[in-house]
C-alpha cells in the first residue's frame, strides 16, 4: 500500500512535470482537478497519513539513546542469567522448612539458614560463626595476657626502684680496690 502510494505519487510528479512542460511549450487546456478521469490516469492522492514530508529540527537524541541502549545491554548481560538462575532455584529447589532440632543431633552451621542460596554461601564461602567467635576470643586472650604482663612489669619496676633490693636499677660500679688514691695520700698534692 505504501509502495502503491509512492508509485502514484511518482506518477503524479511525472504528470505534473509533463503538464508544466506542456504549459511552457504551448497553451494547452489542463484537466481541472475535479473532472472525471479515464482509468489509469494520474490523480493527486489524499491519504491522510502522508502529508507533506517535514524535516523536523530537534536536538540530537543519538547520545541519549546510545547510553540507554548500552545501559540496558550491560545490565541484562548478567542480570538475565542471574534472574533465570534464581528463578530456577526458587521453583525447583525451594526453601527449607522449619523443624525442631532432633534429639542428639547437632546441626551444621549452614543448616540455620532458610534460602538454599544463603545455605550454599554459608557453607562454601563463609567461615562458621563459631570460628569467628573463637578468633575474637583468642585475640582477646593474647591482649589480656599482654596487659597483665605489662602491668606486672610496671609494678616490679616501681618496687625495685623504690626499694633498691632487686636486680633492676642496679648499676655496676668499679671495684673500690682498683682506685688509686696515692695522689690523695698526702695533703699537699
Partner 1 sequence: MPEDRDWEVYKAPPTRTPVLEKDTSLSNPVHLFQAAFSYVLDRPITFVREWIERQQAKNKFYYYHQQFRRVPDLSECMEGDYLCFFEAEAQWRRDRMVDQEIVAIVRERFGACQQREGPNQFQNCAKEMEQLVQVTKAYQDKYGELGAHGNARTCLMKQKHRMMEERKAQENADQ
* Residue ranges that bind partner 1, judged by CB under 8 A: 91-94, 96-101, 107, 111-114, 116, 119, 133, 136-137, 140-141, 143-144, 148
Q: Nearest approach, Cβ of 55 to partner 1 (angstroms)?
A: 50
Residue 10 CA to its chain's centroid (Å): 56
Residue 120 CA to its chain's centroid (Å): 22
The candidate with the shortest Cα–Cα distance to 129, out of 111, 147, 109, 112, is 109
Phi and psi at 59, nearest 5°, equal: -70, 155
Q: Nearest approach, Cβ of 8 to partner 1 (angstroms)?
A: 49
- Give 31 or 113: the residue with its C-beta nearer to partner 1: 113
- Give 77 or 91: the residue with its C-beta nearer to partner 1: 91
- Give 64 or 141: the residue with its C-beta nearer to partner 1: 141
Q: Nearest approach, Cβ of 104 to partner 1 (angstroms)?
A: 13
- Give 69 or 87: the residue with its C-beta nearer to partner 1: 87
**What is the rounded CA–CA span in Å between residue 147 and residue 153?**
10
Q: Nearest approach, Cβ of 60 to partner 1 (angstroms)?
A: 46
Q: Nearest approach, Cβ of 133 to partner 1 (angstroms)?
A: 7
Residue 128: partners with Cβ closer than 8 Å, 6 or more residues away: 109
Task: At 25, list the grid cell.
Answer: 511549450
**What is the rounded CA–CA span in Å between residue 78 and residue 70?**
13
Phi and psi at 53, nearest 5°, equal: -75, 130
- Give 4 or 137: the residue with its C-beta nearer to partner 1: 137
Task: At 71, list the grid cell.
Answer: 545501559
Amino acid at each position: 500500500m505504501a509502495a502503491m502510494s509512492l508509485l502514484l505519487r511518482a506518477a503524479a510528479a511525472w504528470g505534473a512535470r509533463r503538464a508544466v512542460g506542456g504549459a511552457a511549450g504551448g497553451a494547452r487546456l489542463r484537466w481541472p482537478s475535479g473532472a472525471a478521469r479515464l482509468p489509469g490516469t494520474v490523480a493527486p492522492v489524499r491519504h491522510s497519513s502522508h502529508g507533506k514530508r517535514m524535516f523536523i529540527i530537534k536536538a540530537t537524541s543519538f547520545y541519549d539513546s546510545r547510553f540507554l541502549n548500552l545501559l540496558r545491554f550491560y545490565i541484562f548481560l548478567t542480570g538475565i542469567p542471574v534472574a533465570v538462575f534464581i528463578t530456577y532455584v526458587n521453583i525447583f529447589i525451594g526453601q527449607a522448612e522449619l523443624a525442631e532440632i532432633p534429639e542428639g543431633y547437632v546441626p551444621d552451621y549452614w543448616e540455620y539458614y532458610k534460602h538454599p542460596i544463603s545455605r550454599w554461601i554459608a557453607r562454601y564461602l563463609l567461615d562458621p560463626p563459631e570460628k569467628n567467635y573463637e578468633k575474637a576470643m583468642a585475640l582477646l586472650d593474647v591482649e589480656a595476657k599482654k596487659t597483665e604482663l605489662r602491668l606486672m612489669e610496671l609494678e616490679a619496676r616501681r618496687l625495685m626502684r623504690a626499694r633498691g633490693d632487686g636486680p633492676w636499677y642496679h648499676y655496676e660500679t668499679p671495684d673500690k680496690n682498683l682506685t688509686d688514691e696515692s695522689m690523695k695520700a698526702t695533703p699537699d698534692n
